[in-house]
Structure 1
């Protein structure tokens, strides 16, 4: 047998006080018990840690080194204990959250701000990924929550509706269609659109393609780009019109002209916050609650 935390804590008290009587009072122990524990520690280490006389106690070089190391060990153990309790209560944790392009420009930042205001010690790891990838990663426990666009079904995933998005056309400011207050699918079917790639926008493209088909048209793609930044850059350069669920916050109307798209029946793209049904903790519950508070603005008619 080597030694345990009791030996280190007792040695630290003696080494800091340099007095067995005061160390015993500090530890609420009998002085003989303190002396015995320090002797046991020296015996098990095979080194002398303290030089004792009838008048004073002094640390040896080995004792000074062990004091620094033991203090750090006990500090780390205290931190570990406190963090463990905080993790169990949901006060301190790590949450891995997936989001899509649709949710990345407004919804995800709004939920993050709301959550962090009351949960500053929880670290959020936010990662962009498509909706299908999020579903897979939730089931594989590689992310804790996901903001997933479009309808889906899974007996292993629980979800809450957090947003309904309308469809908008984003046009170059001088495009002839900016003369109209709103656009129809018929208007857009005559244009070559700037659209996200199938690889990065699978759910959105599927919904838009189905919308055109339901109105008797085929979507005409003039240019693809993988990111929203790339699409908006193409719009501002006058390459074409893109479709999105809102005017991104960071865009000014002097660079891009947004117009609502009117359809019959009206199109709304839903976003759900999703998580694995059998995997729930306090931090996750608090994130879900924050998303529900934020969702009121995104679910308004």
Structure 2
């Protein structure tokens, strides 16, 4: 390796702060010392990491690639040190868990109670930010287990089946579609449709229910947080197709209603995703197995 850890820390700090001066403050050194460190890194690599534009720095294409790597390495090392300290002092293993697509946590307290009894050496931490980019967060080590609907697995990720769910149309309780035994895609033609995703996700409603019919809802609005989608529906600002399990608290409280999609319904499988590199006895795999056991019960 041509660079030392201090150089990778430098790249991470510059990217986070945007300037040499602020990066130097973060690292606890002078701006002059950081300038020398940057020059040293570029000399060792044999090329420029940044181009100077007055007082500002602009990443070169190769510098951007190095910075992206630094942004993966430094947080991973920091987490490794934190986990070591936790394990050394408390004899526990920290497993970070996130949820893909939906911001739903009604199940978490009950699962935490089970885990504290059955696996007291495992400490679970919720990573709410993993919802937006679950696979990226998993691959980069920001999260260890992702509870995910649909088919999100990639060649570097293992998928452990957890439970089967159903996609449903979610409406205001007094909406004209709320009391139907099921809906057809054509029922959406005149509706204001709310969605949490800007792109069509494989295995979800657009691919399996809406597109085959050729139907286009009257108005489609992207609301990136599912909690906000539920709030809007409960105020009769539109409808959406969502996981029944993910919105069951709102259904139980009767703030929204749920209607099946078609006579045969539209199933949705949930899985626990972990890195393929996880050993068979790892805490992440244990959490995944406990999730599957817990949902079956």
The TM-score, its normalising length taken from structure 2, stands at 0.60
- Report Cα offsets for 1:33-65 as digits up to 9, x if no partner: xxxxxxxxxxxxxxxxxxxxxxxxxxxxxxxxx
Aligned to 2:169: 169
Correspondence 1:1-301 to 2 at 5 A: 83-84=87-88, 87=91, 92-102=92-102, 104-106=104-106, 111-129=111-129, 133-198=133-198, 203=201, 207-210=204-207, 211-246=209-244, 247-252=247-252, 254-262=254-262, 266-280=265-279, 281-296=281-296
Structure 2 gap ranges (5+): 1-83
Alignment partners' CA distance in 1, 2:115 and 2:287: 6
Q: CA deviation at 1:295?
A: 3.3
Greater gyration radius: 1
Alignment partners' CA distance in 2, 1:185 and 1:263: 12
Alignment partners' CA distance in 2, 1:82 and 1:130: 22
RMSD: 3.1
Alignment partners' CA distance in 1, 2:115 and 2:166: 25
Alignment partners' CA distance in 2, 1:117 and 1:225: 38
Query: In structure 1, the residue corresponding to 2:162 is in which secondary structure?
Result: strand
Alignment partners' CA distance in 1, 2:109 and 2:263: 29
Q: CA deviation at 1:290?
A: 0.8
Q: Contact 2:167–2:205 (CA<8 Å) still a contact in 1?
A: no
Alignment partners' CA distance in 2, 1:232 and 1:248: 11
Change (3 A) 1:284 1:216: same
Q: Contact 1:137–1:143 (CA<8 Å) still a contact in 2?
A: yes
Aligned length: 210
Change (3 A) 1:232 1:153: closer
Q: CA deviation at 1:102?
A: 3.5
The TM-score, its normalising length taken from structure 1, stands at 0.59
Alignment partners' CA distance in 2, 1:189 and 1:253: 28
Alignment partners' CA distance in 2, 1:161 and 1:145: 13
